[in-house]
Each structure stands twice: as C-alpha cells, then as structure tokens.
Amino acid sequence: MTIVQRLERLRQAMQEEGLDAYLIPSNDPHQSEYVAAHWKSRHWISGFSGSAGTVVVTMNHAGLWTDSRYFIQAEQELKESGFVLQKQQIPHAPEHLDWLVSQLGSGSRIGLDGRLFTIGQIRAYERMFSARNIQLLTSVDLVKPIWEDRPAMPVDPVFELDASFAGHTRKEKLQAVREQMEEKGLSHYLLPALDDIAWVFNLRGVDVECNPVFYAYALLEKEAAHLFVAAEKVSSEIQLALQADGVQVHPYHAIEFFLEALPESSTIGYDQYLTQFQFWRSLEHLQCKENVAIIRQLKAIKNPVEVKHLREAMRRDGIALTRLYRWLEAVVRERTVTEVEVAEKLDSLRREQGDYHGESFAAIVGYKANGAIVHYHPEPGLCAEIHNEGILLLDSGGQYTYGTTDITRTTVFGIANPEQKRAFTLVLKGNIALSMAIFPVGTSGVQLDTLARQPLWQFQMNYGHGTGHGVGFFLNVHEPPQGFVASAANSRGTTPLEPGMLTSNEPGYYKTGEYGIRIENLILCVEAGQTESGRFLKFDTLTLFPIDQHLIDRTLLTPQEIDWLNAYHQEVFETLAPG
C-alpha cells in the first residue's frame, strides 16, 4: 500500500470504532528511542523516518508533530503523503494535544494503543481531555489489522557482557539495586526500559539497530529476580548462569499475569514515565511508588573499569576516523564520493578495529546543504556526491565491547570563506568553553549549556538542539538522566553532574540550504578539587580526533583557547600515531 492508501485504511478503521482522532507515537512498549521494525508504526503509516515525532489523524487532517531537528527531513519525506508537518516549538512537548483540544468538540472520542504510552502520559492526557468532555480510549490498536506484512518480533539470541568489561558482576549490580530498594521501602521493582535491563543483568542483544539491547521486562525482588524474555533468545548456558545468580527466566508476555498475581501487600516501585499504561490494571491492586529510577542513576556513573575501556574505545574510534579521512581526502582528488559511501567506508574501518558491534546510530554524513539538516541520514540514490570543495559534516559513532562512541567533525575541502570560518570558530569556542568548565558540585546541565552558546549569541546566532546528552557504556548512545540543554523543563538539564557521567559536548550552527557545522566530543565528569568554597568538578575530554584548523579564524580565539586546542591535538597525536 502507498502512504495515502494506509491513511485511508486507518480512517476506515477509525470510523468503524467511532473515533474522531487517533494517535501513533514513535516508540515501542518500552519507550525506546530506536525500535525494532515490528514497532515502527509511525514510520509505516506516515513515511517519516526520524526518531522522534507523533502522528495525529482526524477525519479531515493528518499531522506529524516533530521538533526542529527534523523539519527539513520531514518536509521532504511527507511530500504527497497526505500528512502535514506540524512544527513543534519545544522538543518533546505534547503540542499535538493542544491542537486536538482546539479541533475536537465536546463528546469526541480519541483512540490509542495504551502499550505505546506511559502511565504518566495517559494521566496527563485524561486530565486535559476530561476537562473538555473528550473521551480517551486507551486499548485501541488500529495498526495491527491494517499492517498486513508487519515484521515479526526479533528472536536473535542475547549474549553476556563479561564483568571484566562491565566492572561489576551481575550479582554485585543486583545487590546495589536491592540496597536502594530497601531504602525506598520496596518489595518489588519493575524494569520496562531495555537498557536498564541490559545493564543490570550484564546482557546485550541485537534486537534494534544501533543500541545493543533486547526485548524483555524484569521484576526484582529482595531475594529473587525475574527476567521476562522470549525463551529462544536465551541459550542454555546463559540460562544456567542466570539461575546461579538467582534470576528466573519467564516468557516475555507473562509479565502482566505475573504482576496481577502479586499479593496486595507488595510495595512496587517503577517509573510512571517509562511504564506502559496497559500495565496499570496489573499494578493498581498493589502499593505503588512511582518516580523510581534506581538503575538509571547507577548506570550513569561509569566505574573505573568502564572508564579504562572507554579510553580504549576512543583510541580505536580515532584510528578508524583517521583512516577514513585520509582515504576520503585522497579519493575526492580523483572522483566524487557519495555520502552513503563515506558512511559504509567508516563502518568497515571501525569493524577492522575489532570488538565492534555496529554503529551507535545511523551516521549523519551531510555535504554542503545536507549538513544543515540536523539529523540527516543519506540514502542510496538520493544522497549528495562529495566534491573536492565545500563543507562536510560527519556525525557518527560505534558500539564496541569497550564502550560507545559518538563524535562529530566538520571539515572543509578547498578553502572556506570568512563567514564559514567565523561560524566554525564560534562553535569551537563554545565547545572549548564547556570542555574547560570548572563548577561546584550540584551544578546541572542547564547552567552549563549557556557556556557553549555564548560565543554564538554574541553574533546573534544559535542552534535549535541541546548541547549534550548522556552516553551509555556499550549501551544506548542517548542515555538519561544528565545532559546540557537550554530549557529547565527538560530533566536532562536539571540533573546535577556527578563524577563518572559521560556526556556529549556538541554545539553547532546551521545555515539552511548551504552548510552545517557541529563539533562533538564526549566528556567525562571528574573531580577538580576541594577548596574553602567546597568541592568542584570539571570535564576530561575522551574523544580523540583532530579538529579541522583550515576552518578556524585564529583572531577569534583567546590565548587560553589556543592552548587548550594545542594540548588536545598533542594528546590526539600521541595516542593515535602508534596505531
């Protein structure tokens, strides 16, 4: 079916159910950013392939709400689809709900699949809609009957991450979680997030692209742990190892029945913004404690073993990138190179480094105007050809057993003009300012975000995305809770930085239709020292790859910034040259 035909089928189903509107989000029942093909309903119905967005369909309008990172991409992908791009002003804000309230009259009915929305979301929706006498139906899956060739759920096997890489054994991690459960008065702790489950059990999988996770649920008790996962995914060897650590394996779909069978005296903790609404009927008879995110905080603090391995991951990644750029600079003198070819070549060079499990996200290879599309992804036959002139933005990352990488470099072929040099240098100044920051304990990302933007602001320039996100250890490349963002409404901005947190530092500037600039390193929060004023923290830059000096206007750099850049390049040379 074409997109137009799919939309028509959906509206027919809505009519049969007596619905005035239907919502389809981007995520799966685990609130994952990257999802298996089985759960790409929003992509299937609309044709929009970005990782964030919500589809809202009424009988006379079909809209795709997404934020500024995807505006250009969405406009291209939604052409002649019947869907209209609705530009969100604030990323991740539910602006589509305000639109619905303005469009629907009293007595209207809105449907959605409650597996794809959280308890916290549905409560907020119901408050908003009930005030307008709008009914919300939360158990309506209209996609399943019309998506006839829907991919099956993945059945690939899980594999162990040895404690020599993880830094702690499965037993040690479970004990650490149970200690916090006891402090919070919990008899049970429900885990719906795939990366939380992978972390605490020292297991990894290949169920989704880029993130080494697997579809499962987990429930932890004081003396036992329960892993709900498809049986064919767990080898007998791993099952025995899990049993030895007190972990019982159950079928994936048994989680709801298991929760329903818990005694009413049980006190269960969970995060209502990660737990699907369909579970509420299985939880409401229990004593519930919400806002519980024990593992999220534990895994955000990288232990010394993980940090040691991360440095090795950065070394390997730097070597692969060095070989990529040397290859690219030589080839473009003889012929053009497509953006897709660059992405494929980099993936193959990373693979040569060993212990490599694939990209940590689909590489953004943006030549000239494509670089201005923040989350651009080149497609065969549609992408640009790179010539020996112009600006190239390459944002990529790898999943190694040694850790997860994420790096952006902007380079120029030929000679950059003064405007391009100024923009690049201002972005560089912001990156260096954040890299050099020294701050007291308790400082959060929203306070530090301004450091990266200030040089651009001086010239009334800015960028529409956050300055940084947390990064997992051989896990999700986007890992809460910390980050650098401009809005205090985002939890990434309000989480205090702590030693061991690994975060991206990626200011940028984008001129639509011409070029994009972004410089990204991963920085580790470390101790800076203790003074009479208290304890202070700083950052250690882990990413290792040169910054293109052909794009720098040295007159805009301070002596301190030049010293930082020279010291950084010396470290890069000493670490990568032997490889």
pLDDT at res. 92: 65
Task: Please give the full DSSP string across 24-80, using - where no structure is assigned.
Answer: E-S--TT--SS--GGG-HHHHHH----SS-EEEEESS-EEEEE-GGGHHHHHHHTTT
The token pair that represents 311 in the structure block = 């440095």
Q: What are the φ/ψ torsions at residue 544 (nearest 5 degrees)?
A: -125, 100
The CA distance from 450 to 465, in Å, is 13
pLDDT at res. 488: 87
CA triple 391-392-393, angle to 5 deg:
125
In whole angstroms, how large is the CA radius of gyration of the chain?
24
pLDDT at res. 115: 97
Contact (CB, 8 A) for 228 and 217: yes
**Positions of the chain with pLDDT under 70:** 91-92
Amino acid code (one letter) for 353: Q
pLDDT at res. 72: 80
Contact (CB, 8 A) for 167 and 186: no
The token pair that represents 85 in the structure block = 């791009």
- Domains of the chain, start order: 3-146 (3.40.350.10), 159-299 (3.40.350.10), 301-576 (3.90.230.10)
For the chain, how many residues are written?
Answer: 579
The token pair that represents 125 in the structure block = 């929706």
Q: What are the φ/ψ torsions at residue 211 (nearest 5 degrees)?
A: -100, 125
pTM: 0.94
Contact (CB, 8 A) for 328 and 335: no
pLDDT at res. 354: 97
pLDDT at res. 579: 75
Q: In degrees to the nearest 10, what's the CA dihedral of 291, 295, 298, 302?
A: -130
Which helix (DSSP H) or strand (DSSP E) does residue 398 occupy? strand 398-400
Contact (CB, 8 A) for 289 and 185: yes
Pairing relationship of beta strands 247-250 and 225-228 according to DSSP bridges = parallel
Residues near 208 by beta carbon (within 8 Å), at least 6 away in sequence:
32, 34, 35, 36, 154, 194
Contact (CB, 8 A) for 356 and 210: no
pLDDT at res. 89: 80
Residues near 426 by beta carbon (within 8 Å), at least 6 away in sequence:
455, 456, 458, 459, 461, 509, 556
The answer for 385, left when phi > 0, alpha when psi is -120 to 50, beta otherwise, is beta
For residue 496, say if its preceding peptide bond is cis, omega within 30 degrees of 0.
no
How confident is the model over 233-274, as pLDDT tens digits?
A: 999 999 999 999 999 999 999 999 999 999 999 999 999 999
Distance of CA 328 to the CA centre of its chain: 28
The token pair that represents 498 in the structure block = 């702590």
Cα→Cα distances 144→10, 58, 59, 147, Å: 10, 18, 19, 5
Cα→Cα distances 103→8, 20, 177, 185, 299, Å: 20, 10, 46, 45, 43
Q: Up-side HSE of residue 450: CA atoms within 13 Å toward CB?
A: 6
Contact (CB, 8 A) for 478 and 402: no
Distance of CA 499 to the CA centre of its chain: 21
The CA distance from 316 to 306, in Å, is 15
CA triple 178-537-456, angle to 5 deg:
120
Task: Please give the full DSSP string across 287-305, using - where no structure is assigned.
Answer: EEE-S--HHHHHHHB--HH
Contact (CB, 8 A) for 550 and 412: yes
Residue that the structure tokens 């932890």 belong to: 220
Q: Which residues pair with 66 in a beta bridge?
A: 87
